[in-house]
Structure 1
């Protein structure tokens, strides 16, 4: 086994152990925060039925375990987690895992596409600004980054719908597939991609501004270091120096911020999914809040926390690969 593989394996084990207390803290914090929210699923079910007696309300709360003391509810919740279960949704009367599994793929597709687009555009724009620092390219792209940074994602999404969907008719206004088309194979892939473009652009606009400015500043800082001047003295070409010596080291702060903003993407997905009618976890979370379906909401928060922790673990491993000098403690 190579030294690099051993170091990456050690990094993975260390970060995994460090994540355990974080997961426990997230579970307890989410549960007790839900207890502070007024109302429960029985209230919403009774309101939708039009009328409910006190006996009916009591039976609903007993059926779903809502009348138990807080510590008993916590014990039942932890017991479900120990058995890899998130409980049952009072609203839908189906396992929470099934509800989340049906929405998780759409949210991950949207988030990863938006993050990949933001990283790619941010690195390219930041690289252009760094290599043309002080010139018109740098000034123009800096203004563009400032506009993207100051534009709310929901407004950007609405304007994109008006322009590309309503005015030009190039792209669909919402959803993730064309309902009733029953497309298969490559046609299905193209259809999903067309529905994905606008929400991914709306979600990535803010991050593109951050990554481009961060890439610019990181590349300018790295370009002044001794190893870059040594590479220039050896006669290496500017493209090779930029890609291998400057950009690689500049990726460390960029990927760090990307890992930190993974949670921001999860939070922002609620707004974007509502605007574009995207059937993901964001819309499910909003529906759960409105229905006081706290079992589903706890499941979404728990899964979201795990995704953020895994994303930061991957960032740590990426840092150890980019720079062998990095040793995580």
Structure 2
């Protein structure tokens, strides 16, 4: 196991370098830069604009800029964010945990709903229960997140005035202790409902499909013929063997826990990393964009590694070599 994990971690290095080259070239191909986005409409002399670009190294060839970024990144320096005038690592640290707070709560709710509903749908295939949740699942999958977010704001915040409309804190109010925590929780409710609603349908269908692949296997019929209770057959035998695809789904969800929900965070004005990344595109904050995308790439590969490790835990027949 240790040898396998070490080898996989070492393989990450050339993969990340390859990803960084592609991403850097794509970002560099975007028209304009941070100086153009900030001062393009001003009446500053062209010499002054050229001087500011030179200070940021934007006048250098793309290859030289990439090598400078790579050298600094290998020393833990991801550069300075032009929109915040702070180190990129600091900006990411300041906002990523806000996104994680939303994502982990919605992800746990998603699993708590999707797994039991998916199992019941598979065991009661083509029943009213199965058809009902199939329709609800496809409705949730098809519903645009921005539209659902606006509906939630209209109903719960504007019409019924039950919950805050946006933000993470109540503006102009100083709170502490339990009151501060409750204020954050009240602001979380609507975005969490939005994220859970649009994701739980796909997860439920995923669990249902995984269960249907094993529920009619010979060993399940054998377990039933031995007189085992249906609950034992389904949850101890069938669900355990259907866990491999579910583990894959969980592993692939790891980047989403930290990368933020761009649209949902923007609509609800939640100060998360996704909202900041969306703003960085408009402001041509290339170094922040680069740091964010590389973080997502790293988390994606670590999620795949975590899934591979969990495979051997869920099924002892799988050996990592």
With over 3 angstroms needed to count, the CA separation of the structure-2 counterparts of 1:71 and 1:299, relative to structure 1, is same
Q: Which residue of 1 aligns with 2:169?
A: 177
CA distance in 1, matches of 2:43, 2:282: 19
With over 3 angstroms needed to count, the CA separation of the structure-2 counterparts of 1:17 and 1:249, relative to structure 1, is farther
Match of 2:6 among 13, 23, 26: 13
Structure 1 position 221 matched with structure 2 position 210: no
1:1-329 matches, within 5 Å, as 7=1, 9-47=2-40, 50-260=42-252, 262=254, 269-328=261-320
Secondary structure of 2:164's aligned partner: coil
C-alpha contact 2:88 2:291 (8 A) present in aligned 1: yes
Q: TM-score, normalised by structure 1?
A: 0.90
C-alpha contact 2:96 2:259 (8 A) present in aligned 1: no
Q: TM-score, normalised by structure 2?
A: 0.92
CA distance in 1, matches of 2:253, 2:117: 19
When the two chains are superposed, the root-mean-square deviation of aligned CA atoms in Å is 2.1
CA distance in 1, matches of 2:193, 2:5: 32
Secondary structure of 1:174's aligned partner: coil
How many aligned residue pairs are there?
A: 321
Deviation at 1:206, TM superposition (A): 3.1
List structure 1 runs of 4+ shifted beyond 6 angstroms: 264-268
With over 3 angstroms needed to count, the CA separation of the structure-2 counterparts of 1:94 and 1:104, relative to structure 1, is same
Q: Which residue of 2 aligns with 1:3?
A: none
With over 3 angstroms needed to count, the CA separation of the structure-2 counterparts of 1:190 and 1:318, relative to structure 1, is farther
C-alpha contact 1:262 1:308 (8 A) present in aligned 2: yes
C-alpha contact 2:104 2:257 (8 A) present in aligned 1: no
5+ residue gaps, structure 2: none
Deviation at 1:159, TM superposition (A): 1.1
Secondary structure of 1:286's aligned partner: helix
